[in-house]
C-alpha cells in the first residue's frame, strides 16, 4: 500500500459535508484509498503491510469518532503524516500535549516521531510545522458551475443559512435583531430554536441537504457574514461564499469580510459592502442596483477556483515530501 486517507467523519459520495468532499477529491487526485469507518479501517490493518509510506487524516469532530484506537495503530505504521484542516472550530490534535490522553488519536499524535505537516485553510495552523505545511483553500471545492439567472427571484428577502454560532452573534444581532422579517434563515432544529428565541421576527426554515440546488435563484440576495476570528485572521473564503455564487444570487458582503475575500482575489469595493440592516433595506428597494451587483459578481461565478486548488495541492505534496 502506497498510502491511505482516513476521514474522521463518515464519507458518502452523495454527502454535502466538507469532509466527504475533501476526502473523495483527495483520493481521486492522489490515487489513494479512502476509509471512514471502523470496519473499513480494520480491513486495512489486516491487509496492509507493516509500513504505510504516507497517511493523510481529514479533520472531523473527534467526539464522533469510534475508531481513534485504530487510527493510533495506523499512525504508528507511517513516517509521513498529513493532517487536513478546513475549519478552525474543529480540533486539530497537536504533536505535543498531554501524553496520557484517553483519546488514542491525540496520544498517537503526541508520540509521533516522523514527518508531520498540515494542509490547512486556517493560516495560524501553519506555525505548527512551517517548513512542511501548506495553506490550501479546501472551500473552493464547494463551487459549482452556474448559468446566469435570468428569472426574477420569487422571494424578495435575503437568504442566510448555517448554524447558530456564538462567534457570529455580533453580526447576527446587527442584521436580525430589528429587521428579521427581511431575512429567510435555514438551519438545524437546534439552531432554529436558538435563532427564534433571540430573533422572533426571523423566518426560520429547516436545514436542507443541498443548499445550492434548494436556493438557486430563489431569493433577492444572499448575506455573507463570518466569525469574528475569521475576519481577523486569514481562514480562506468560507464555503458560503462559493455556494452563494453557485446559486446565482447577488451576494451582500458584510464589510469585515472584505479583507479575506480580497486576499483570495475577490475584490469587493467598499461601496458594495453592507454594514447595517438599513444598508440592506435600502438595497432591497433598489432592484436595479442589485442587478448591477449581480452582473459585477458574474466574473466570480464563472471563475472555477479548482485549478488554483490543484496547484496548492501540488505544492503541498512537494512540501510534505509525499
Report the chain's mean pLDDT, rounded to a whole number.
Answer: 90
C-alpha cell at 302: 464563472
For 51, counting Cβ atoms within 10 Å of its Cβ (0-12 exposed, 13-18 middle, 19+ buried), the class is exposed
pLDDT band at 64 (very low <50, low <70, confident <90, very high): confident
The answer to whether 74 and 45 have CB atoms below 8 angstroms apart is yes
E strands, 188-301, where? 203-206, 219-224, 251-253
Strands 134-135, 115-120: parallel, antiparallel or unpaired by DSSP?
parallel
> Is pLDDT at 63 greater than 90 in this prediction?
no
Q: Alpha-carbon distance 60 to 49, whole Å?
A: 26
For 31, counting Cβ atoms within 10 Å of its Cβ (0-12 exposed, 13-18 middle, 19+ buried), the class is exposed
In the chain, domain spans = 3-139+306-320, 155-302
Taking each helix axis from N to C end, the angle separating 104-111 and 68-75, rounded to the nearest 10 degrees, works out to 20
118 DSSP β-pair partners:
83
Q: Alpha-carbon distance 137 to 122, whole Å?
A: 9
Classify 29 as helix, strand or coil.
helix
Q: How many CB atoms lie within 10 A of CB 271?
A: 5
CATH superfamily of 155-302: Glycogen Phosphorylase B; (3.40.50.2000)
Helix H or strand E segment including 157? strand 155-161
pLDDT tens profile 266-307: 999 998 999 999 999 998 888 899 999 999 999 999 999 999
pLDDT band at 154 (very low <50, low <70, confident <90, very high): confident
The domain made up of 3-139+306-320 has a fold known as: Rossmann fold (3.40.50)
pLDDT tens profile 155-178: 899 999 999 999 899 999 999 998
| pTM (two decimals) | 0.91
Give me the mean pLDDT over the 188-200 stretch.
94
How many helices, marked H, and strands, marked E, lie in the chain? 14, 11
Q: Alpha-carbon distance 51 to 230, whole Å?
A: 38
Please identify which residue in the block is written with the cell numbers 428597494: 285
Q: Alpha-carbon distance 52 to 5, whole Å?
A: 11
Q: Is 269 left (phi over 0), alpha (psi -120 to 50) or beta?
A: beta
Classify 141 as helix, strand or coil.
helix
Q: Alpha-carbon distance 268 to 78, whole Å?
A: 44
Give me the mean pLDDT over the 35-58 stretch.
91
CATH fold match for the domains 3-139+306-320 and 155-302: yes
For the chain, helix, strand, coil in percent to 5 are 45, 15, 40
pLDDT cut 90: percent of the chain above it: 68
Q: Alpha-carbon distance 78 to 112, whole Å?
A: 9
Give me the mean pLDDT over the 29-34 stretch.
96
Give me the mean pLDDT over the 174-190 stretch.
93
Structure confidence at residue 151 (pLDDT)? 58
pLDDT band at 150 (very low <50, low <70, confident <90, very high): low
Q: Alpha-carbon distance 91 to 111, whole Å?
A: 18
Report the length, in residues, of the chain. 322
Angle at 250 between CA 249 and CA 256, to 5 degrees: 125
Q: Alpha-carbon distance 129 to 102, whole Å?
A: 25
pLDDT tens profile 203-237: 999 999 899 999 998 999 999 999 888 888 899 99
Please identify which residue in the block is written with the cell numbers 420569487: 154
Structure confidence at residue 17 (pLDDT)? 84
Amino acid at each position: 500500500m502506497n498510502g491511505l486517507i482516513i476521514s474522521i467523519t463518515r464519507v458518502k459520495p452523495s454527502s454535502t459535508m466538507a469532509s466527504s468532499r475533501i476526502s473523495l477529491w483527495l483520493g481521486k487526485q492522489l490515487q489513494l484509498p479512502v476509509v471512514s469507518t471502523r470496519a473499513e479501517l480494520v480491513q486495512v490493518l489486516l491487509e496492509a503491510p507493516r509500513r504505510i509510506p504516507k497517511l493523510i487524516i481529514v479533520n472531523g469532530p473527534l467526539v464522533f469518532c469510534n475508531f481513534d484506537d485504530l487510527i493510533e495503530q495506523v499512525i504508528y505504521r507511517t513516517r509521513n503524516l498529513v493532517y487536513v484542516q478546513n475549519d478552525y472550530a474543529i480540533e486539530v490534535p497537536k504533536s505535543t500535549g498531554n501524553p496520557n490522553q484517553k483519546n488514542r488519536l491525540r496520544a498517537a499524535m503526541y508520540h509521533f516521531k516522523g514527518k508531520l505537516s498540515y494542509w490547512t485553510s486556517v493560516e495560524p495552523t501553519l506555525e505548527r510545522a512551517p517548513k512542511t505545511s501548506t495553506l490550501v483553500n479546501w472551500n473552493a471545492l464547494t463551487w459549482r458551475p452556474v448559468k446566469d439567472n435570468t428569472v426574477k427571484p420569487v422571494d424578495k428577502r435575503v437568504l442566510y443559512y448555517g448554524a447558530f454560532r456564538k462567534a457570529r452573534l455580533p453580526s447576527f444581532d446587527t442584521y436580525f435583531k430589528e429587521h428579521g422579517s427581511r431575512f429567510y434563515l435555514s438551519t438545524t432544529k437546534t439552531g432554529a430554536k436558538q435563532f427564534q428565541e433571540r430573533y422572533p421576527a426571523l423566518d426560520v426554515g429547516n436545514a436542507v441537504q443541498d443548499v445550492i440546488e434548494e436556493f438557486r435563484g430563489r431569493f433577492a440576495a444572499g448575506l455573507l457574514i463570518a466569525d469574528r476570528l475569521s475576519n481577523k485572521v486569514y481562514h480562506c473564503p468560507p464555503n458560503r461564499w462559493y455556494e452563494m455564487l453557485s446559486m446565482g444570487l447577488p451576494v451582500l458582503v458584510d464589510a469585515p469580510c472584505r479583507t479575506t475575500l480580497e486576499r483570495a482575489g475577490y475584490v469587493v469595493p467598499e461601496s458594495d459592502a453592507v454594514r447595517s440592516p438599513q444598508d440592506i433595506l435600502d438595497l432591497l428597494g433598489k432592484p436595479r442596483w442589485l442587478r448591477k451587483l449581480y452582473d459585477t459578481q458574474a466574473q466570480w461565478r464563472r471563475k472555477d477556483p479548482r485549478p488554483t486548488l490543484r496547484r496548492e495541492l501540488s505544492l503541498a505534496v512537494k512540501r510534505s515530501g509525499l
